Structure formats: structure tokens, C-alpha cells
């Protein structure tokens, strides 16, 4: 009847798979060119700059003697609060905006997509570190110029490593909570409870009970990260950081990845 028979099978054996580099590039782009992602990045940049300006005018006006790390600490406040939200939304927006359907159709190997997302938030952490280190340096130099005092740099290289760890931990914890709940409001609220409320409760418990005070560093990830913020971490602090990190970062992430692999995409 017909002149040509239509092939009944689609031969994709010669088609190359989506390279991982492209997945990472796509995920990076998704973080910046959606309305939520763009505004979050703008808000982080604006708040960080605002904090730096406030801090600089305070130390100059009050004739204080800040070191380089004080400027890094100041900027860690806005970044530490908002970067994890970006981590949460990098996962949950696929569900809330229903793009998961398209994403996982184009790349059905879900673990590769999750890995690409994780790499993209690591790259954003590096970017945040570069911006933070440069702005901190600018603040410190401006302080020296305006006050005429000697500028104290400390061990700048060590600080950079510590703050990179801080940003990575923050974003990765947000990412893990996002993967666990697959829902933006739930992920964000639980993350904020974990980072603002839990330390208060742990602090009260530690003040009241001696045995809890010695246990706290091992189970309170926020507490064990404080050694990174003021760069005093040493010896056993690293072990505490690792143990509490397993509890709050590795376990939620593992459960979350397992959940994404099995979740209904709707």
C-alpha cells in the first residue's frame, strides 16, 4: 500500500547522552534567570553591601580597630541567612513550578540532575566567597585609608578556606532540607527554625544541664560551625564539626536524594 514503511523503533543507540557539563550549566542558569532566583541573588548582594557600609561607618565613627576577619564576619550574616534559601529553592522549585516533569524527561537519570544541582550550588558558594573576600578586603582597605590606622590582615588564606566551608555547609544544608521536603515554604521554614531557633533552645539546655553542655558541640551543627566564623577552630573542633555535619547535612541529604529518586513527578 504505502510507498515507505515508517520505522517502528527509534534508534537512539548512536545518540550521545547529555554531558554533565551541560547539566551543570543549565542548573546554574536556572538559579539566576528565574524571578525568585534573580531577586534572591540581588537581595544577597544588596544586603551584603549594606552591612559592609554600616559596619564601615560604625568602626570609623566610633574609632574602633577592626581586623580583616571582622569584615568577613559582618558579611557572613546576610550571606549565611540567604544563601541556604537559594540551596533550598534550587531543589524545591522543580516541584513547586512543576518543571520536574520536563527536567526528568530530558534527563531521566535523576541522580545526575541532582548531582548537577549540587555542583551548581557549590559553584555559587565559590562565587559568594570571591565576592565576600573582595568586599571584605575593600572594606579593610577603605578603613585603613580613612582612619590612618595600620590595617590588620591576619591569615587571609586560612580565612578564605574557612568561609568557603561555611558557605558550602550553609547552601548544602539548605539543599538537603529542600530535597527532604520537596516544598519551598516547608524547606525554608524548617531551615530557619534549625538555624535561628534551635541554637537558642540548645543554648538554654546547655546552660541548665552539664551533661548536655559537653554533648552540644557534637550534635549542634550551628554551634560547631562557630569555630569557622571566628577562625579559632582546632583539634577536636574538627571532629565535632564532622559528627554534627553528618547529623544535619549528610543524613538529610541521603534521605532526600533517595526520596527524589523515587518521588512521583507531577
Partner 1 sequence: MSAAAMPVTLDVAGTPGIPFSRLFGVELRKSADTRAGRWLIGVTFGLSLLADVIVLIVVVVQDEAMSFGDFVAAFAFVSSILLPVLGIMLVTSEWSQRTAMTTFTLEPRRMRVVMAKMLVGIALTFVVIAFALVVGLVCNLLYGAFQGSADWTFGWSGFFGFLINQTFAMLGGFALACLLLNTPATIVVFFVYKWVLPGLIALGALMEWFSHVAPWIDFQSAQGELYEMPLTGSQWAHLAVSGFLWLVIPLAIGLWRILRAEVK
- Judged by CB under 8 A, which of 130, 197, 246, 247 binds partner 1? 197
Among 21, 108, 144, 185, binds partner 1 (CB under 8 A): 185
Q: Write out the binding residues for partner 1, residues 39-58 only, by CB under 8 A.
A: 39-40, 47, 51, 54-55, 57-58
Shortest distance (Å) from residue 41 CB to partner 1: 13
Chain centre to alpha carbon of residue 20: 21
User: Among 131, 192, 213, 227, which residue sits at the site for partner 1 (rule: CB under 8 A)?
Assistant: 192
Assigned C-alpha cell, 216 = 552540644
Packing angle, helices 184-192 and 68-96, rounded to 10: 150
Tracing cell 537558642 back to the chain, one arrives at 200
Consecutive H or E run containing 92: helix 68-96
Largest CA distance in the chain: 94
The one among 85, 116, 133, 166 contacting partner 1 by CB under 8 A: 85
Least CB distance to partner 1 at residue 63 (A): 11
- The answer to the question of residue 218 lying near partner 1 (CB under 8 A) is no
Other residues' Cβ atoms within 10 Å of the Cβ of residue 260: 23
113 lies in the site for partner 1, by CB under 8 A: no
Distance in angstroms (rounded) separating the CA atoms of residues 91 and 250: 16
- Binder to partner 1 among 137, 156, 165, 189 (CB under 8 A)? 189
Q: Taking CB under 8 A as the rule, does residue 201 contact partner 1?
A: yes
C-beta separation of 121 from 89 below 8 A: no
CB-based contact 45:68 (threshold 8 Å): no
Residue with cell 543554648: 203
Interface with partner 1 (CB under 8 A), residue total 33
The footprint of partner 1 (CB under 8 A) covers 36, 39-40, 47, 51, 54-55, 57-58, 61-62, 74, 77-78, 81-82, 85, 89, 96, 183-186, 188-189, 192-193, 196-197, 201, 205, 208-209
Amino acid at each position: 500500500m504505502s510507498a515507505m514503511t515508517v520505522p517502528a523503533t527509534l534508534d537512539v543507540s548512536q545518540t550521545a547522552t547529555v554531558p554533565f557539563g551541560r547539566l551543570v550549566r543549565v542548573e546554574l542558569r536556572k538559579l539566576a534567570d528565574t524571578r525568585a532566583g534573580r531577586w534572591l541573588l540581588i537581595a544577597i548582594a544588596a544586603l551584603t553591601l549594606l552591612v559592609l557600609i554600616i559596619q564601615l561607618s560604625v568602626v570609623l565613627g566610633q574609632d574602633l580597630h577592626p581586623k580583616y576577619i571582622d569584615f568577613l564576619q559582618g558579611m557572613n550574616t546576610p550571606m549565611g541567612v540567604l544563601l541556604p534559601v537559594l540551596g533550598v529553592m534550587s531543589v524545591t522549585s522543580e516541584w513547586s513550578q512543576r518543571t520536574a516533569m520536563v527536567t526528568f524527561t530530558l534527563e531521566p537519570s535523576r541522580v545526575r540532575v541532582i548531582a548537577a544541582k549540587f555542583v551548581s550550588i557549590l559553584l555559587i558558594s565559590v562565587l559568594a566567597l570571591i565576592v565576600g573576600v573582595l568586599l571584605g578586603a575593600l572594606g579593610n582597605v577603605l578603613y585603613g585609608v580613612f582612619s590612618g590606622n595600620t590595617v590588620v590582615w591576619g591569615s587571609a588564606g586560612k580565612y578564605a578556606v574557612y568561609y568557603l566551608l561555611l558557605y558550602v555547609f550553609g547552601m548544602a544544608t539548605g539543599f538537603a532540607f529542600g530535597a527532604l521536603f520537596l516544598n519551598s515554604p516547608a524547606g525554608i521554614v524548617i531551615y530557619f527554625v534549625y538555624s535561628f531557633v534551635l541554637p537558642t533552645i540548645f543554648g538554654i539546655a546547655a546552660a541548665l544541664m552539664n551533661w548536655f553542655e559537653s554533648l552540644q558541640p557534637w550534635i549542634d551543627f550551628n554551634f560547631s560551625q562557630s569555630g569557622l566564623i571566628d577562625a579559632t577552630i582546632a583539634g577536636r573542633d574538627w571532629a565535632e564539626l564532622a559528627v554534627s555535619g553528618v547529623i544535619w547535612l549528610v543524613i538529610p541529604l541521603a534521605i532526600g536524594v533517595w526520596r527524589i529518586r523515587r518521588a512521583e513527578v507531577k
